[in-house]
Structure 1
Amino acid sequence: MNRRTDTPPSRETTANRLLASSAKLSYDPDVDIDWDAPLEPGKYFVPEQLVTLYGTELWGRMSQEQRIELSKQEMINTISVGIWFETILIQMLMRLAYRKDPTTAHVHYAYTEVAEECRHSMMFGRLIDRVGGRPYRQDLRWYLLGQVLPFVLRGPAMWAATLMGEEVFDVLQRDTMRDENLQPIVRAVMRIHVTEEARHVRYAREDLLRGMGRVNRLEKEFARLVAARGALLLATSLTRREQYERAGLNGREAQRQARANPNMHEAFRHGAGRVVGFLTEADLIGGPTKYFWRRSKLIV
């Protein structure tokens, strides 16, 4: 059935179900992860086939130690982007709650999601420290944009941005948590994030669909632009030159090979497949903004 014609449950129905799920299945990373367990020698930090240089000429010349180090740096970069995004999302959710009735389950779940996102960001920060890494920072453009977005994104545009920040990582993290060849502490972190993030995705998807019935043409085009620029941000931020330099590689050459790497494009399309399908059916991929989607390589 086409989602554009589906009628999602009411806000209160969805929120009550998600609140019940949160009460039954939530985690405290401080006690649910063994932070003192030693790292295991010779194990990757993300699945080998998801490393952005996998399959390139440069990858063929790298030692196993360099490959593992690059996987660590890419994991740190990915969750650094996650912290940046979740901090923006927390602000958007708080502004949503500020505008709406605090007695409703919809607002109560917004507060619940804020609490979970705060724990996730702390968990990611602790993981970076635990593996002996340093976080990556967004460049000035995206840093300043991150300060503006919570004030301008509402309705479908807000939820489109949310889904771009959540669903691609969610799919790739599911691959990570199932890979027994990876560092156990990384798998444990991803398992917690995936479990709780599934509720956040449902909250965002259903409210986006409700909002699409009320938007005008300008608002829909703005939501399309937000989603498309989010796709391009993902593609560029996950091939940051600095991560290659920290792994001891020539950053410019490594970035060039990564961005031309068909294996990386395939991995990103795999991660984005679910959200691309959803946004397409919601009529939020199309028109001039499709240019940014093609540049991102998340669609062909």
Structure 2
Amino acid sequence: MTTAVRPSEPTREEFAERLLKGSVKKSYEPVVDIDWNAPLEQDKFFLPPRMCTLYGTDLWEAMTREQQIEMSRQELVNVLSAGIWFENILNQALLRDMMHKNPTARTTHYSLTELGDETRHMLMFGKTIGRIGGVPVRPRLHQRMVINALPFLFRGSILWGAALVGEEIFDALQRQILDDPDLQPIVRRVMRIHVTEEARHIQYARDGLRRSVPAMPRYRRFLLANLQGVGGPFYRHLFTLPVVYNRVGLDGRAARRTARTNPHFHEASRASFAPLAAFFEEVGLMGGLARGMWRRAGFL
């Protein structure tokens, strides 16, 4: 079953205009809206313990609180680094897509607004990594080559689907930690800014898919409904990189095996994917192959 856009609903141009007005009312400039000189607080985590991939395992229990805090710092650095590379892909795709669009359209203007938001998010993530004393987790050369090739493929419905896979899982994770009093204040502030602005981006991508799916050829719908499942193994790989565990003195490969069998990590993964899974079901874009990939990766 698919959800068609009803005649009474706003047009794509009207929807973009509404988001443009929202952007004027509530947007941030991280360079001035975050106190980058504020000291880090002692004995506070960078991610909630329950969201760390090793939480609840024997490895985690054997750590001191200081080691657990360091583990949370390295996992946050990994997440922020991934955010930077994904925003890079999205920005390239938006720019290439706009080359074929009407520069006077409200949809084009909102795409430009989103591009500006994402550029500021990249700056914010980079400054945060530096402020907390982290070292970015960089993709390898062959991975960077793939990243630079992806924007050539991301257009139309594929762009919206990829944007949702890249944004909604991080968004769901961030919403769980906005008001955690045991977190570093700078982390809470960064998450608050990102969630506020990302909500508009998610609305825009969801609206784009809702409008395009009903008229989509069957073969294209099948392709998109199953291609998005690649996100499952990708995220499992991303969240359990051995280098992150190596940085806190653990055996990276052994720690990765432990994390991937950790029921607490699976629970956090399912919670992060739940809103997006429900949306894919709603619009008819949860294919059998995709469902299997997400399930094997621990997200369903």
Contact 1:157 1:226 in 2 (8 A): no
1:225 maps to what in 2? 226
Contact 1:66 1:248 in 2 (8 A): no
RMSD: 1.4
**2: distance between equivalents of 1:3 and 1:22?**
30
**2: distance between equivalents of 1:144 and 1:178?**
38
Output one character per residue of 1:16-72: Cα deviation in whole Å (capped at 9) or x when no partner.
000000000000111110000000011000111000000011111111111100100
Q: Secondary structure at 1:5's aligned position in 2?
A: coil
Aligned length: 298
**1: distance between equivalents of 2:33 and 2:289?**
46
Alignment of 1:79-158 (within 5 A): 79-158=80-159
Q: Secondary structure at 1:176's aligned position in 2?
A: coil
Q: Secondary structure at 2:176's aligned position in 1?
A: helix
Residues 232, 141 of structure 1: alpha-carbon distance in 2 compared, 3 angstrom cutoff? farther
**1: distance between equivalents of 2:165 and 2:65?**
32
Contact 1:157 1:224 in 2 (8 A): no
Q: Secondary structure at 2:56's aligned position in 1?
A: coil
TM-score normalized by structure 1?
Answer: 0.96
**1: distance between equivalents of 2:247 and 2:215?**
48
Unmatched 5+ residue regions in structure 2? none
1:274 maps to what in 2? 275
Contact 1:160 1:226 in 2 (8 A): no
1:33 maps to what in 2? 34
153-162 vs 96-105, which deviates more? Answer: 153-162
2:78 maps to what in 1? 77
**2: distance between equivalents of 1:53 and 1:224?**
31
Contact 1:229 1:292 in 2 (8 A): yes
Deviation at 1:141, TM superposition (A): 4.7
**1: distance between equivalents of 2:262 and 2:50?**
12
Between the two proteins, what is the percent identity of the paired residues?
46
1:180 maps to what in 2? 181
Deviation at 1:288, TM superposition (A): 2.5
226-235 vs 241-250, which deviates more? Answer: 226-235
Contact 1:157 1:222 in 2 (8 A): no
171-180 vs 3-12, which deviates more? Answer: 3-12
Deviation at 1:184, TM superposition (A): 0.3
Residues 3, 214 of structure 1: alpha-carbon distance in 2 compared, 3 angstrom cutoff? closer
**1: distance between equivalents of 2:296 and 2:146?**
20
Partner AA of 2:202 in structure 1: V
TM-score normalized by structure 2?
Answer: 0.96
Alignment of 1:37-52 (within 5 A): 37-52=38-53
Output one character per residue of 1:226-277: Cα deviation in whole Å (capped at 9) or x when no partner.
3111232112101111000101111111111101001001101101110010
Output one character per residue of 1:65-123: Cα deviation in whole Å (capped at 9) or x when no partner.
11100100000000111111110000111122111101010000000000000000000
